[in-house]
Amino acid sequence: MAITIAILSQKGGTGKTTVTRSLAEGLTRSGMKVLAIDADPQGNLSEYFGVPADAFPTLGEVLAGQEKAVDAIHDGVIPANLGLAEAELMLAGKIGRELTLRNALREPKRRYDVVLIDCAPTLGLLTVNALVASDWAILSSEAEHFSEQGAEGAMEVIGLARENLNPDLELLGILLNIADMRTNHARATLTMLKESFGDKVFDTVIKRSIVYPESARAGKPIYEFRKRKAYDYASLTVEVLNRLGLEEPLAEAEQQLAAIKPPA
């Protein structure tokens, strides 16, 4: 049965989708079979995977009960489009609406080692569905003044999902993302997060780079687009596998990291 990880943020623009795509690639290169799920109606992850805009079926049809999740997998991803927003509205009036995604993923979880869910940048019903379907959550936080408050809000939603719907859900870590660590502000934000959340904050920081949106625009993972710039994501992959206690893929991930020249 696959380990399922929801990747969420308190708002858009925190690099969450690039983390999902890059972590999927890093775990795949470590020998794991990975399924990614685009749970954001904007469909950015789907585009990053190179899925055509008219792909069918998508997560929207799965949540609406019109298609099976296994039939919605396109080259390692269950894609999304604006129709997912309509599916969310349909879910609002459904009994057991918070369990819909978990129930839909039963068969795909048997076929993969890891499932990564790229959540919408809101803490609404789609994100709640993702958290209920997951074993772990990763919170992407940007280096800005209100990051602590945003992280606390997301942590509250994770806590509510655990208390009421998914007692097995745990926080895997908080990731400082798209950070310019040359600035005092970014360094102060990291210090603040560590003071508030301790060892739940990943040691890895994803540093700001124009290469990341360029790789997304090209529809290629950063490992293929510009391998040297994959160092931070390779480091994150090692940390994730270490926290999950997966020794065999961890050893491979460490070799992958060692093969990438650290950024200057």
Q: Which of 109, 153, 136, 138 is nearest to 20 (CA)?
A: 138
Cis amide bond preceding 262, omega within 30: no
Within a domain: 264? no
- Tracing tokens 């129930």 back to the chain, one arrives at 103
What are the pLDDT digits (tens) for 8-26? 987 666 789 999 999 999 9
Residue 135 pLDDT greater than 70, yes or no: yes
- Please compute the mean of the pLDDT values over residues 195-217 and round it to a whole number: 91
What are the pLDDT digits (tens) for 155-180? 888 988 999 999 999 999 999 998 87
Q: Which of 40, 264, 263, 6 is nearest to 132 (CA)?
A: 6
pTM for this predicted structure: 0.95
Residue 149 pLDDT greater than 80, yes or no: no
Q: Give the residues across from 118 on adjacent strands.
A: 7, 38
Residue 78 is part of which domain span? Answer: 3-258
Number of domains in the chain: 1
Here the CATH number for the domain that contains residue 110 is 3.40.50.300
Within a domain: 206? yes
Within a domain: 115? yes
Write down the pLDDT at residue 264: 66
Element (H, E) at 72: none
Rounded to an integer, what distance in angstroms lies between the CA atom of residue 209 and that of residue 250?
26
| Cα four-point dihedral sign 178, 183, 189, 195 | positive
Rounded to an integer, what distance in angstroms lies between the CA atom of residue 32 and that of residue 56?
26
Q: How confident is the model at residue 67 (pLDDT cuts 50, 70, 90)?
A: very high
End-to-end alpha carbon distance in the chain: 40
Q: What is the DSSP letter of 260?
A: S
**One-character DSSP codes across 133-192:** T-SEEEEEEESSTTHHHHHHHHHHHHHHHHHHT-TT-EEEEEEEEEE-TTSHHHHHHHHH
What are the pLDDT digits (tens) for 70-91? 999 999 999 999 999 999 998 8
Higher pLDDT, 19 or 264: 19
Within a domain: 75? yes
Q: Which of 81, 39, 35, 34 is nearest to 57 (CA)?
A: 81
Within a domain: 263? no
Rounded to an integer, what distance in angstroms lies between the CA atom of residue 40 and that of residue 198?
29
Write down the pLDDT at residue 184: 82
